[in-house]
Amino acid sequence: MTFLLDGFQTALQLHNLFFAFLGVLIGTAVGVLPGIGPMSGVALLIPVTASMTSGFEPAQAATSSIILLAGVYYGAMYGGSTTSILLNTPGESSSVVTALDGYQMAKQGRAGSALAIAAIGSFAAGIVSLIALVLLAEPLSNVALKFGPAEYFSLMILGLAAVSGLAGNSMTKAWMMTVFGLLLSTIGLDSVSGVARFTYNISFLYGGLEFLTVAVGLFALGEVFKAILHKEQNNDGIAKIGRIIPSKEELKESAGPIARGSLLGFLVGILPGAGATLASFFSYMLEKKISKHPEKFGKGTIAGVAAPESANNAASGGAMIPLLTLGIPGSGTTAILMGALMMYNVQPGPLLFDEHPDVAWGLIASMFIGNVMLLILNMPLVKIFAKIIETPPKYLLPLIIAISIFGVYAVQVTTFDIFLLLGFGVLGYLLAAHDFPLAPLVLGLVLGPMIENNMRRALTASNGDFFVFIEKPISFVLLIAAILWIAIPFLMKLKGKSVIVNEDM
């Protein structure tokens, strides 16, 4: 507590408050614009922070810079929900799940409530994850060290098994989309052997398919094509915005998902490589699994916004544990944050809290302050953001297309990706029109490379012995959980059918 209070003394210095505010403000803008994302935002700002802190003492410069860069990181987690809810355009990968129910709520005239709950859930999760970070940094970092390639492989398999929770009306279609996503993830150079796979001598495909191109194409442009081709059905105009502050019933309904999403997101965030995307998927599927009305998910239930938004913000707090205590970056963004720290001769790892307590505790305290700033900043903006949904389609659709193309081009800077974007837009429209769920495809694309890399690393270490996945206790438990996740609903369905047959006889 003494160290934390010292951290608050550092974070509450006027220049550090300014850096925290600037970070969360830029982070929110980064999250709103598809394509930039927290990783690009943080990377772009490193030289800016270096020049801003050039007159500071080395320790002070390191603290102020990392406060600003961390503000961009968790600010982007906040901002990513805005375009997901209003335009069905995920700002970054972890906001894909928020679009499933958030966009439906916006279409029902509940955009204000969805945005407010996203902001409240993000704030609560940020505070929960930071309290947990203070209390659990040391014991949880020891658990994270026990996760090897076999355990990560099994965790990802559990993630794929849980994809059944994202199914539409058909489990078969969900699995087909998952396999399709896994197939798309194999495009590019094999990371182990360097062999080109499914590239057809097209140089642009050697780096694989950019996740953002696929996600924005499927969700945002797919929705644009639907609006254009079915304009005769949309003449009623977009639903008017109702209340901005969520009702007591909505707050009560989202309290459980926010609490569960915060804890789950934090625990998943601790695992290097798992990240906010997997946390938001897991959280959404958990809520759907335990809900008394799972049929409401995907149709505009508040829990479908509260849970993933809480999880992805909690995961950004959780990701700080392996970074600060072990020197292991859990995601691309934390890897860039680690690089920024090392630029100031601050080495993240077990000795960080001893050698640079002002940097470590100053950062943790600034994240508390930053979360409060984000809530104060975002709640008044809800009304302004929500007005976007009232824009007539003839203005709104070109805006979505422009944001999508700008976002995708900014990442890869190739026209090939724009053609891919349009192709996936058409595919997204056709798949949605035939009731194929899009989220499993996205999850397959995200988890595919992680599954392959961890499986091959585990098999290399065990000389090709597949029993390595069963011999490791954590890996074995995760695989059993994956099998049960698939088998129990299937067996219950069979049991239900046999009961109906017996009753008919």
Return the pLDDT at 168: 56
The alpha carbon torsion through 143, 149, 151, 154 (nearest 10 deg) reads 150
Half-sphere exposure of residue 361, counting CA atoms within 13 Å on the CB side? 17
What is the SS3 string spanning 6-18? HHHHHHCCHHHHH
Digit-by-digit pLDDT tens for the chain (505 residues) are 677 788 788 888 888 889 889 988 888 877 776 656 677 677 777 777 877 877 778 778 888 888 888 888 888 877 778 778 877 777 666 777 888 888 888 888 787 888 888 888 888 888 888 888 778 766 765 666 677 889 888 888 887 776 655 555 677 888 888 899 999 999 988 877 788 888 888 888 888 887 778 877 887 788 788 878 876 444 444 444 556 677 788 788 888 899 999 999 888 887 766 667 788 888 888 888 888 888 788 888 888 888 988 988 888 888 887 777 766 666 667 777 877 787 788 877 767 777 788 888 888 888 888 888 888 887 777 677 666 656 677 777 887 788 778 777 876 678 888 999 999 999 999 998 888 888 788 778 877 888 888 899 899 888 888 899 998 888 999 899 888 877 877 777 676 655 444 545 4
CA dihedral 406, 410, 412, 418 (to 10 degrees): 10
- Residues 40 and 265: their CA atoms lie apart, in Å, by 22
Domain ranges across the chain: 1-495
One-letter amino acid identity for 30? V
Q: Which H/E stretch holds residue 197?
A: strand 196-197
Its pTM surpasses 0.95: no
Q: Are 268 and 318 in contact (CB under 8 A)?
A: yes
- Write phi, then psi, for 303 (nearest 5 degrees): -65, -30
Residue 338: predicted pLDDT: 78
Residues 6+ apart with CB under 8 A from 105: 85, 111, 113, 114, 300, 302, 305
Chain-centroid distance of CA 154 in Å reads 20
Q: CB under 8 Å to 497, separation ≥6 — which residues?
A: none
| One-letter amino acid for residue 315 of the chain | A
Residue 240 phi, psi dihedral angles, 5° rounding? -70, 155
Residue 70 in contact with residue 370, Cβ under 8 Å?
yes
DSSP E strand boundaries for 357-423: none
User: Burial, 291: exposed, middle or buried (Cβ in 10 Å; 0-12, 13-18, 19+)?
Assistant: middle
3-state secondary structure of 416: helix
